[in-house]
Chain A
Amino acid sequence: MHWLVRPDSIRKLWIAFIAILALTVIAEFFVEAHPHFGVDALPAFNAWFGFIACVILVFGSKLLGMWLKRRDDYYDEQ
């Protein structure tokens, strides 16, 4: 089994990933921010905004998919 797909390495990758996520939030205190609007001055704005945007996009897509999804041979049968 390739080292990258071993459960042990995947666990380590998750730990490293979470550490990097934390770092990007901490790094915010060390750079000079120049927000343009009120909302982007909130702490870790881009982190939670990006996360929430993705959650909304994924579930919004799923909702639309319920209505518009068809088997992938749909047009062949038409």
Chain B
Amino acid sequence: MMSKPITVLVSIDSNSLLLGARHFKNYLNTLVENYNLSSMVEILETGSFGDYGRGVLFLVLPDDVMYSAKSEADIEKIVLEHFLKGRIVKDLVIAEFDSGGSVEASESSNEERIVLRNAGSIDPRNLEEYIALDGYQGLAKALRMTPEGVIEELKKSSLRGRGGAGFPTGLKWEFTQKVRSDEKFVICNADEGEPGTFKDRLIMEGDPHSVIEGMVIAGYAVGASKGYIYIRGEYFESVASLRGAISKAYEYGLLGQSVLGTEFSFDLSVRLGAGAYVCGEETALIESIEGKSGRPRLKPPYPPVSGLYDKPTVVNNVETFACVPPIIDKGAGWFRSMGTQSSPGTKVFSLCGDLVKRGIVEVPMGTSVRDLVHKFGGGIPNGRTLKMVQTGGAAGTFIKPEEMDAELDFDSFKKSGASLGSGVILAIDETHCAVDIAKNLMEFFAHESCGKCSPCREGTRVIVHILNEFSKGRGTVEMFNQLYDISDTMEESSFCGLGQSVPIPLRSILDRFENEFLSHVNSPVCPVGVCKFDKPEKKKR
């Protein structure tokens, strides 16, 4: 693979592109040519190294030096010093480590990578590199097993859906497998729209074949011959990455007629979403693939019985599919050796908000919020104090700093009130007002409510109205209590998961910041100074 003495891996993904990664790579190319180093230096694009915020990352092999470049001058320095003179540019280095060690492992010792095993170490557009690192081994092994055997292995692994709900994947596949039908489908839910979540994007752009392989295995296990990846239309990079990977997989006989020379056939295509949060709900997603407005269906029947075009359908999240190949390849026992008893394996977290290091990490299930915020996220910048953390995504809970020992897995919501959800850690510092945060979040739900059922459609509207009154200094204690009433109604009577889960973040922030909400009633100004109260005679009503 390494034909030239020096190989440079440039991390290219949606986040690093924002920092000018492509431009820097081209500039590096130009410099290498200008200095006649083309025969010495190979420049390759790879997926994300999972760490942002410090500039565009370049990994120089075989020296295993990771550089962070913020300007063209930095690039020039690397070429002049490192490539020409063999001297490492110390002030641009962010990690130096032994061969074979992964970047993250050296930085933060207990990161474990299953899903992101290849992201940042292979060229995602090169199928051979994926294959060289045991890619499609899981599929090859699965095809030698019976479909029941594959499902049995998954059940033993206790893999649970990574989209947020945590339903046992093996069980879902078994339901689908047992239904008799002339046609079945496999759908990958890549409609990542949970505010604060960007993990699926990283997987699709950094290692698209891991998702495809997982889907083909699913097709074999449940007896489906057609799959769809439903992806957000705004994710241009991911769409291109997946489309490229799919056509490569066809070329190599990993998709299409008689996969790997067996009797099993599987077709896969990409379907674009068009910006509707509710389409993350699996039946709404199915409606959308059918070309209709994405409004959820009544359940039961569930998709394993009657899904796409009323045929049995498996719907799983991107991250879940990416977990499948290594489980089949290495066995359920290996998977169960990581994470917690009820939630084995790892979880990819999106770290965002007021954190020093914002980005993606993959850690064993059961990692505490504290570790994610401080150890992996680097704590709170600008010498400020942490006020709250929202875990799990838009529909996740807000917790206070003193609750950060909560260990996140699928059962943590029951145990400690902190939800795992889709793996978001959103840190919010003291400069933010709880009312304002709640208002922004609820505006999101009001906007994304599909309008099918009244508890959600009207409930979110009234909630936003009330929070608006609070932010104008016109709130009352009755209104505060009313928010709880609406929450109860929405939880009990909303049609789908969207409306049912709105009360989760709302109640959690009301419970924990009751005083702050009430001080918007009693005092003349917002205690944090964020909300702008209406000036004259406040609280007339």
Real binding pair: no
Taking Cβ atoms with an 8 Å cutoff, the residues of A that contact B are none
B residues contacting A by CB (< 8 A) are none
